[in-house]
Structure 1
Amino acid sequence: MTIKAVLFDLDGTLLDRDSSLLSFVSKQYERIPELQAVEKNRFIERFIELDCHGYVWKDIVYQQLIEQFSLQHIDWRLLLEDYLCNFQQHCIGYPNMLRMLKELKNNQIKLALVSNGYGQFQYDNFKALNIDHLFDEILISEWEGLRKPDPAIFLRALHKLDVSAEEAVFVGDHPVNDVRASRDVGMRAVWKRNGQSDQTVDADATIEDLKELITIVLPQADPI
């Protein structure tokens, strides 16, 4: 069946969250003198460890950092507010993201974002990539009242796009929340592998570079 729509996860799929976080934490450390009681590389490494690829929210991360490093005269709430206000300035998309999306759009493929996370925060990060004008629908878990891997959020996205599951592809980096969950509702799933060479995922296709998606969705297209 012809593919009419491609749905994307955000973090780890379109947004290079690891590079973005590294950029943000480095600048936050330089901006806030109280953090500099700790050696910079040590602070950054511990932040990234506690963050656990985004699965630990930053209120917990900052409280743990303050306690573990015995930081003085700094409130975790101020650090969290700084994160919420400034992270989007450091958002970095993966290589070939824009070219790939434009190619799909130029071929009348409908595009949607389906992301877990806090609504405004995720939306601001998405907009910072300067690709929002290419998307037909944006679904973020807080705003939808649903979270992946709940099949309802995928079905809602398909309904908004007016396509069937068989006519859609989902692209994501999480083996359960993205790949298995989208396949369970009848979509084809593409796993974006980010250096997880030792992991096997039951996807319809696996990519490491977003440009590879072109020949999956548009088999007759010239590779970019």
Structure 2
Amino acid sequence: MKTIITDVFFDLDHTLWDFEKNSALAFETIFKNYQIEIDLDKFLKHYIPINLKYWEMYRMEQITQIQLRFGRLKDTFDLIAYEIEDEKINLLSDKYIHYLPKYNHLFEGTIEILEYLRPKYKLHIITNGFAEIQNNKLNNANISHYFQTITNSEMAGVKKPNPIIFEHALDKAQAKKESSIMIGDCLEADIYGAIHSGFEAILFNEHKKTIPENIKQVHHLLQLKKHL
């Protein structure tokens, strides 16, 4: 690192909290409860990229939270030719949000790396997720106590990569950008957003996607020990 790091900011979903695994469990539950006769693997194969597309649109302020929650399900059901009424989609959307934070699978190494980092740095969260849901995820996964501050897009009024959310997080943490680092899975939102805001940044690149050579990356959370 170029400077002495004092504050480490983490993204939550897809970085510490295993979104895809927990999401699959939530869908499994609601499909069973509401007699949705769909092959779960087939559904998820289409839902996962559609959800990512909708989150990108949401991040770019192109759609609302309501449009995100409805649209990602509607598009998936349409793609697999499953007939379902809009009213039922809205119900499933609400139930999905209810069940999602009840599951608490974390990426391998999450607890160990947080235990390793906590004595050395002040730890924080910056997330584009919805406040109540993200807080429930942190509490149910029993990791909220590791973080001194939690900044979400609702309180900041903008989403990563907007520099305002990073400034908001810095103010809340009483940290300096020159001594802060961001760790997240999204190259655009987490890494470029942090770098353009004056942070250091490390990409959690679990799937080993090809990225620019100048971007620091780890494929497993415990590899952060080499950088911090």
Corresponding residue for 2:12? Answer: 10
Equivalent residue for 1:141, pick from 147, 150, 153: 153
Deviates more, 1:134-143 or 1:51-60: 51-60
Greater mean alpha carbon deviation, residues 16-25 or residues 59-68: 59-68
RMSD: 2.2
The Cα shift of 1:84 comes to: 1.3
Q: Moved runs in structure 1, 4+ residues, more than 6 A?
A: none
Alignment gaps of 5+ in structure 1: 218-224
- TM-score, normalised on structure 1? 0.85
Once residues 159 and 50 of structure 1 are traced to their aligned partners in structure 2, the CA distance between those partners, rounded to angstroms, is 34
Alpha-carbon distance in 1 for matches of 2:187, 2:42: 31
The 8 Å contact of residues 74 and 89 in structure 2, kept in 1 or not, is answered as: yes
Asked if 2 retains the 8 angstrom alpha-carbon contact of 1:92 and 1:129, the reply is yes
SS at match of 2:93: helix
3-state secondary structure, aligned to 1:75 = helix
Contact 1:16/1:92 (CA < 8 Å) preserved in 2?
A: yes
Indicate if the aligned counterparts of 2:170 and 2:177 stay in contact, CA closer than 8 A.
yes
The answer for unaligned runs of 5 or more in structure 2 is 58-67
Aligned to 1:122, which of 113, 118, 134? 134
* Cα distance in structure 1, aligned partners of 2:93 and 2:186: 25
1:77 aligns with 2:90: yes
Partners of 1:101 and 1:198 in 2: CA distance: 27
Work out whether residues 7 and 171 of structure 1, in 8 Å CA contact, stay in contact via their aligned partners in 2.
yes
- Sequence identity, in percent? 21
Identify which range, 165-174 or 21-30, moves more after superposition.
21-30
Residue in structure 1 matching 2:70, options 55, 59, 79:
59
Q: Relative to 1, partners in 2 of residues 1:41 and 1:102: Cα closer, same or farther, differing over 3 Å?
A: closer
1:74 CA displacement: 6.3
1:129 Cα deviation (Å)?
Answer: 2.0
Task: State the match for 1:48 in structure 2.
Answer: 48
CA distance in 2, matches of 1:165, 1:76: 43
1:105 aligns with 2:107: no
Please report the TM-score for the alignment, with normalisation by the length of structure 2.
0.84
Per-residue deviation, residues 139-169 of structure 1 (Å, max 9, x unmatched): 0101221211111211221222222111111
Q: Deviations over 1:31-57 (max 9, x none)?
A: 221x11x34433333333432376273
Residue matched to 2:30: 28
Greater shift, 47-56 or 73-82, is seen at 47-56
Distance 1:78 1:110, change over 3 A: same
> Alpha-carbon deviations, 1:179-217, whole Å to 9, x = none?
1111112211001102143333642x2101111112311
Q: Aligned residue for 1:211?
A: 222
- CA 1:201–1:112: 2 relative to 1, 3 Å: farther
Q: 1:32 to 1:110 in 2, by over 3 A?
A: same
Deviations 1:104-154 (A, max 9, x none): 1122x1111000022212222232221111111000101221211111211
